[in-house]
């Protein structure tokens, strides 16, 4: 397959990733620019290095270092990191595909399908993670879970205490919990009234 066709397929794929999946679901405009920029940047560098004597390994190593710096420079949620690496992978697949003509477009499609399904709003929609500040200092795990289940009205799967302040009587805890299916439906119905 001609390289320009692979570049065009990459641009279509990253457009689907960003404008068809990420932005409609998460609405962070600043990351739209980051995903597009990293994809086109990787595409350009990998495209130029794939035909040079320097080698693609150097280019990929460079972008690996840059992605680590980028990911450490601002706080990103895990789903945003997944989109970030998907944009990187799409940019690399076009210029560096050396196999059959169908391989790179198929792998790009696979990335899009995985992101569509893995980040689908209906997948595990009753499960949540949150950091809470309780107005009580609780040091015993069983009592903490009972309090969290009472406050949230949900089943607590894991509670990790980040800080207990005995002077000000507060507990900061990261909690992972889920609502029963019917409770979630009732909460959504009440929110739309």
> For residues 94 and 126, which has the higher predicted lDDT (pLDDT)?
126
What's the pTM value of the predicted model, to 2 decimals?
Answer: 0.67
Per cent of the chain over pLDDT 90 is: 42
CA–CA distance, 91 with 36 (Å, rounded to integer):
10
pLDDT interval class at 184 (50, 70, 90): very low
Q: What is the mean pLDDT of residues 13-37?
A: 92
Q: What is the mean pLDDT of residues 129-155?
A: 93
Q: What is the mean pLDDT of residues 160-173?
A: 93
- 99 conformational bin, left if phi > 0, alpha if psi -120 to 50, beta if neither: beta
Which pairing describes strands 170-178 and 127-134: parallel, antiparallel, or unpaired? antiparallel
Tokens of 82: 């997944």
Is the distance from CB of 158 to CB of 142 less than 8 angstroms? no
pLDDT at 182: 63
Per cent of the chain over pLDDT 70 is: 79
pLDDT digits (tens, 9 = 90+) for 58-108: 556 656 666 665 555 567 777 888 888 888 888 888 777 667 888 889 999
CA–CA distance, 8 with 94 (Å, rounded to integer):
9
> For residues 176 and 188, which has the higher predicted lDDT (pLDDT)?
176
CA–CA distance, 92 with 164 (Å, rounded to integer):
46
> For residues 180 and 15, which has the higher predicted lDDT (pLDDT)?
15
pLDDT at 51: 64
What does the domain layout of the chain look like in residue ranges? 3-118, 127-191
H or E element that contains 19: none
H or E element that contains 40: helix 29-49
Residue 174: count of CB within 10 angstroms of its CB: 13
User: What DSSP designation does 108 have?
Assistant: H
Q: How many residues does the chain have?
A: 193
């Amino acid at each position: 397959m001609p390289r320009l066709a692979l570049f065009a397929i990459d641009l279509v794929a990253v457009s689907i990733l960003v404008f068809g999946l990420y932005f409609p679901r998460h609405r962070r405009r600043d990351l739209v620019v980051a995903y597009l920029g990293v994809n086109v940047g990787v595409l350009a560098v990998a495209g130029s290095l794939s035909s040079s004597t320097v080698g693609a390994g150097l280019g990929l190593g460079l972008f690996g270092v840059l992605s680590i710096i980028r990911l450490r420079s601002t706080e990103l949620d895990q789903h945003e990191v997944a989109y970030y690496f998907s944009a990187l992978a799409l940019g690399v697949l076009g210029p560096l595909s050396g196999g059959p003509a169908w391989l790179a477009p198929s792998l790009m499609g696979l990335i899009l399908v995985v992101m569509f399904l893995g980040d689908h709003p209906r997948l595990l929609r009753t499960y949540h993670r949150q950091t809470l500040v309780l107005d009580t200092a609780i040091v015993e795990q069983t009592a903490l879970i009972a309090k969290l289940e009472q406050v949230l009205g949900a089943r607590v799967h894991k509670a990790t205490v980040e800080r207990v302040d005995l002077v000000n009587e507060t507990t900061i805890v990261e909690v992972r919990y889920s609502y029963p299916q019917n409770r979630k439906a009732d909460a959504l119905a009440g929110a739309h009234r």
